[in-house]
Chains A and B, each alone.
Chain A
Amino acid sequence: KAGVTQTPRYLIKTRGQQVTLSCSPISGHRSVSWYQQTPGQGLQFLFEYFSETQRNKGNFPGRFSGRQFSNSRSEMNVSTLELGDSALYLCASSPSTGNAKNIQYFGAGTRLSVL
């Protein structure tokens, strides 16, 4: 089985722009979670999607949004980029059923640099 795929791997944007990141979960996984990793704050939960519905959201401003498609692929969008949005953005998928339902499997991440 292919793992979680995130595209692009690297991105450079300037302040004020917007960006869209993509995530393809492991086949059969219906839950997709997004995280932001920065040196100061560590790994912080952004939001989780299941069956095209956002079920949970972390403590991030409304500039951070996401969506999930019927094939479970997910995108996250950050509008009006700020310098502090520079981070590694990680996507994780989980099967939601079975013995491994509570385990999240991560992609390699998208490194976003905001100049």
Chain B
Amino acid sequence: DQQVKQNSPSLSVQEGRISILNCDYTNSMFDYFLWYKKYPAEGPTFLISISSIKDKNEDGRFTVFLNKSAKHLSLHIVPSQPGDSAVYFCAASSALNAGGTSYGKLTFGQGTILTVHP
């Protein structure tokens, strides 16, 4: 039962263009969403997050959009840089409804490999 899905295993983008990474979820109890970037042999690095009370959050080149009715979120990277090449994970939690099976638990998607070509 995969509650968070990243349907695109990989994405290739030219430097300077926009990268759009997508994520879908099925659990309506999820109310907090995060994006992480991961290089091989390293732990995930937090990029940006969004609460379900918002539909957009921006931080520099990174913007996350949340469509609650579609249970869909996306990460936009503009402009893309070769250093952005990594695996990107979407994660979800029931932060606002914390308790019991929600404490400290992030549910991750399978990841999308982003390659930005110079």
Residues in chain A within 8 A of chain B (CB atoms): 4, 6, 31-33, 35, 42-43, 45, 47-50, 55-56, 58, 90, 92, 94, 101-109, 111
Q: Which chain B residues border A94 with CB–CB below 8 Å? A: 104
Which of A32, A50, A55, A109 counts the most B-chain CB atoms under 10 A from its CB? Answer: A55
CA distance A31 to B105 in the complex (A): 11
CA distance A42 to B103 in the complex (A): 20
CA distance A70 to B101 in the complex (A): 23
Q: Are B49 and A102 in contact, with the CB atoms below 8 A? A: yes
Q: Are A55 and B108 in contact, with the CB atoms below 8 A? A: no
Binds A, one of B16-24, B38-46, B55-63, B71-79: B38-46
Distance of B50 from chain A, by nearest CB (Å): 11
- Count B-side interface residues using an 8 Å CB cutoff: 26
Instruction: Tell me the dominant secondary structure on chain A's binding face.
Output: strand
Q: Which chain B residues border A101 with CB–CB below 8 Å? A: 95
A45 contact from B43, B106, B109, Cβ within 8 A: B106
B104 contact from A4, A33, A111, Cβ within 8 A: A33
CA distance A104 to B95 in the complex (A): 12
B81: Cβ under 8 A from any A Cβ: no
- Count CB-based A-B contacts (< 8 Å): 71
Q: Which chain B residues border A55 with CB–CB below 8 Å? A: 103-104
Q: Which chain A residues border B107 with CB–CB below 8 Å? A: 45
Residues in chain B within 8 A of chain A (CB atoms): 32, 34, 36, 41-46, 49, 89, 91, 93, 95, 100-111
User: Whose C-beta in chain A lies nearest to the C-beta of B39?
Assistant: A108
B49 contact from A42, A103, A107, A109, Cβ within 8 A: A103
CA distance A105 to B62 in the complex (A): 18
Q: Which chain A residues border B109 with CB–CB below 8 Å? A: 42
Distance of B8 from chain A, by nearest CB (Å): 15
Q: Which chain A residues border B91 with CB–CB below 8 Å? A: 43
Q: A42-B111, A43-B108 are in contact. Are A105 and B46 (CB under 8 A)?
A: yes
Q: A102-B93, A108-B43 are in contact. Are A33 and B100 (CB under 8 A)?
A: no
CA distance A79 to B107 in the complex (A): 25
5 A-B pairs within 8 Å (CB atoms) are namely: A31-B104, A92-B106, A94-B104, A102-B34, A109-B43
